[in-house]
Structure 1
């Protein structure tokens, strides 16, 4: 195993750090700006190591990326209706709503790093004290990446001296073809969720959960994304909601051509699946133009806008009580 850290430019006088982790199974690149998951090189069925994550290029464009490629989103991911929770008023950065904690959220901050290596794993800990997002705080946050074999885990830890909110995620986009050789339509998706979240035209939750059975959103059995996307003109930008009593929730992705598999698991109550089907922005990823359905975002988190829907649970960060959330990514072949 090895760790390599180098300084890279974010444009102007700003620099950030690129951290490369490598073992016999995976190579993982992280960036301290936004605590990014930048690249993951995984083997295909023939042993060829290729990148399966969409990353903004050149790396200096991370400072102005508003599409959240691989970034840590926090302290609260998703949309907050009318940018308001009770008496707390947040920044409205998408119409009248708050999206991904606004322009001063964790995605746009420089994080400090520490690394640790053992015989079994490499761990990188990003730390940041949030006094900018508009959520009560300060919130002392950690994002802990751990690479062990073909497994990569991300743990989010938050603590505050005052009552606040905590519902972070990683906004990674995946494409198992390797180096973006094909779009995602032929890749197979399976989600252990029997409901989706109903939303209005601004993708704000209405409060209703809809059964997926008999609809294009039914991924309880694996099926090619093309099957769903051909029925949904706007593609997927959808919160899949898991059963309350589920111990572990799973999203599985498979690319037949490369043989690569990805199993993403978490105890989080929902996962946002975004297919980028309506993509019309000028962005370079992996040194080529981003086009629609080139990657699939998989964002485990508690149900969006939960603070305004207490019937779904809580994303409260109680005073001086640390909270931890974890997502695990297992790469393989078949």
Structure 2
């Protein structure tokens, strides 16, 4: 099996490579050294292998992608209002790449940079990136290591980082999941369960208002498993603002898993384990405009709170010198079968 192959070139002539993890019979992932992008994820399904994430054809398509398919996000995932923040009494202006606001690390961020392949084996890939002081406006020289591992039916991603100055830091991962394996099946037909304790309401620019809102009686209550289609029914003002789901769900403080997702069409299910305090749910409503014909996918992004550097009531998302950052995200997969009851789905994921 070819473990590493060219995946195209960028406009400046640099070659992008795809690194393969896993084997032909089990879970198999392809990761690019461009942006640490998860370019393909195949999982065993009832009718054969299922492509679980949306993908683009080559390196230039990923570099130009406005939807952030599959990227490692940083320095700061999600949004920073006004593209500026104060830290320890100093003001910092970061790149404004979504109107007047900052999104997913700026114009290039982590997702459009070539990472150094530190090591690559059959089941593990270690990527390294140096982000210099002032890049995208962030303070401090930052070194990040991202490690992907495949073991059994699990894909693991670990972020590790250190900085020589205090800096806002909130890395996350941005795959678009459609566990049906078919672009013809709406992503909103998937069943989702999240141990949600509240959600962060947003303004017209999708910047949090600075408070946590209860989810009971709202479309954001995924404590009981439901399809996104079912939750989108009705007239919720927050859904009108975003054109669907593009909101941060605050997780129950005692959560063991951050989310569970199931496609009754393919019978494939996924569980995300992470100790992050929140999960961004994005329904992918912009994809039809950004990538006509690509199909549907939704994002489940474990992270700290968006705009935390500007929101005194939110937990801080700051990396300081002498502190070793580490965050682990585990995607575990199972195939309980098509049209299963939710207790069967959850039990299969517990065993995965």
Please, what TM-score do these two structures have when normalized by structure 1? Answer: 0.91
Could you tell me whether the CA contact under 8 Å between 2:67 and 2:287 is conserved in 1? no
3-state secondary structure, aligned to 1:174? coil
Match of 2:36 in 1: 35
1:223 matched residue in structure 2? 226
Structure 1, unmatched stretches of 5+, are none
Contact 1:235/1:278 (<8 A) preserved: no
Quote the Cα distance in structure 2 between the aligned partners of 1:282 and 1:10. Answer: 22
Which has a greater percent of helix?
Answer: 2
Matched with 1:6 is 5
TM-score (norm 2): 0.87
Written as runs of structure 1 = structure 2, the 5 A alignment for 1:1-334 is 4-12=3-11, 13-23=13-23, 24-46=25-47, 48-86=48-86, 87-117=91-121, 122-131=123-132, 132-231=135-234, 232=239, 234-243=243-252, 245-283=253-291, 289-291=293-295, 294-334=296-336
Greater percentage in strand: 1
3-state SS of 1:195 partner: strand
User: 1:19 deviation in Å?
Assistant: 0.6
Computed over aligned residues only, the root mean square deviation of the Cα atoms, in angstroms, reads 1.8
Measured after TM superposition, the shift of residue 3 of structure 1 is 6.7
Superposition deviation, residue 170 in structure 1: 0.5
Matched residues, number: 322
Q: Structure 2 vs 1, CA of residues 278 and 28 (structure 1 numbering), >3 Å: closer, same or farther?
A: closer
- Tell me the CA shift for residue 227 of structure 1: 0.2
User: In the TM superposition, what is the alpha-carbon distance from 1:279 to its structure 2 partner?
Assistant: 4.0
Instruction: Provide closer, same or farther for how the CA distance between residues 186 and 79 of structure 1 changes in structure 2, counting only shifts above 3 A.
Output: same
Q: Which runs of 5+ in 2 are unaligned?
A: 337-352
Change (3 A) 1:254 1:141: same
| Structure 1 residues 139 and 239: CA distance shift in structure 2, 3 A | same
In the TM superposition, what whole-angstrom CA distance separates every residue of 1:275-312 from its partner, at most 9, and x where no partner exists? 1224452426xxxx235xx1011111001111122432
